[in-house]
Amino acid sequence: MTPQTALSPQTLPEGFVYLQDIDPTILQEVRYALHHNFVGRPILAYNAPIIITTEPVAFALKAVQKELQPFNLTLKVYDAYRPQDAVDSWILWAEDPDDQVMKAEFYPTIDKKDLFKEGYVGKRSSHTRGSAVDLTIVPLPVPTQPTWKPGDSILDGRLPKGQRFTDNSIDMGTGFDCLDEMSHTMNPTLPPEVRANRLLLKTLMEKHGFENYWKEWWHFGLIDEPYPDTYFNFPVE
């Protein structure tokens, strides 16, 4: 996985930017444009593996990245702006009890129809307003990691690092999007190293204007968001 190069393939709505144009050193692994996510296939309206976000979010992430780099660490972003069409497709997916291919990894203890009720997926999302981001920290030089493909093993995202699917993130205790109590940011049952890693990410993000969602160690929303009442629906491309 390599840093992104500057590129602007479409004209974005006013106030939105491609993260790579603001900071090309931040890694991107856009899970919803790929198969390795809780649905198991690319999500509607994610037409390219690229991160789009509002301009204030991008510059705040750039500031966090600047603090990490002297310690040979980098941010890796999994998701930011999310089209409303994508969210609506998840509502339909949650109503289909036969589509459970990724349950063992991403929601092992929760009935998929309850993911919205339990607060792990929102029918109205701050991602769709352009002011939320899902991310982690990765060491430098960047470790290699495999690309999950349909047909690969589906491993419980709660397993210890080295036993769950390989991710080049520092150990955050679960895989990204593991919708489980173990992903609650301040879960006290986790090993000290994991809690310290989560606290590092949380502290730096809060320093630069974000607030963590307590059920998901990876999810942060910009407190002073520019479009608090607007839900966008242009594609990621």
Which residues are identified as catalytic?
216
Total residue count of the chain as it appears in this document: 237
Dist. CA 64–CA 69, nearest whole Å: 9
Structure tokens, 82:
């999310």
Please report how the helices 55-68 and 192-207 are oriented relative to each other, as an axis angle in degrees rounded to 10: 130
Burial of 229 (0-12, 13-18, 19+ CB in 10 A): exposed
Structure tokens, 237:
């491309």
**Distance, CA of 212 to chain centre:** 12
CA distances from 144 to 79, 109, 168 (A): 20, 30, 7
List 79's β-bridge partners, or say none: 134
Structure tokens, 203:
């502290």
Dist. CA 223–CA 188, nearest whole Å: 26
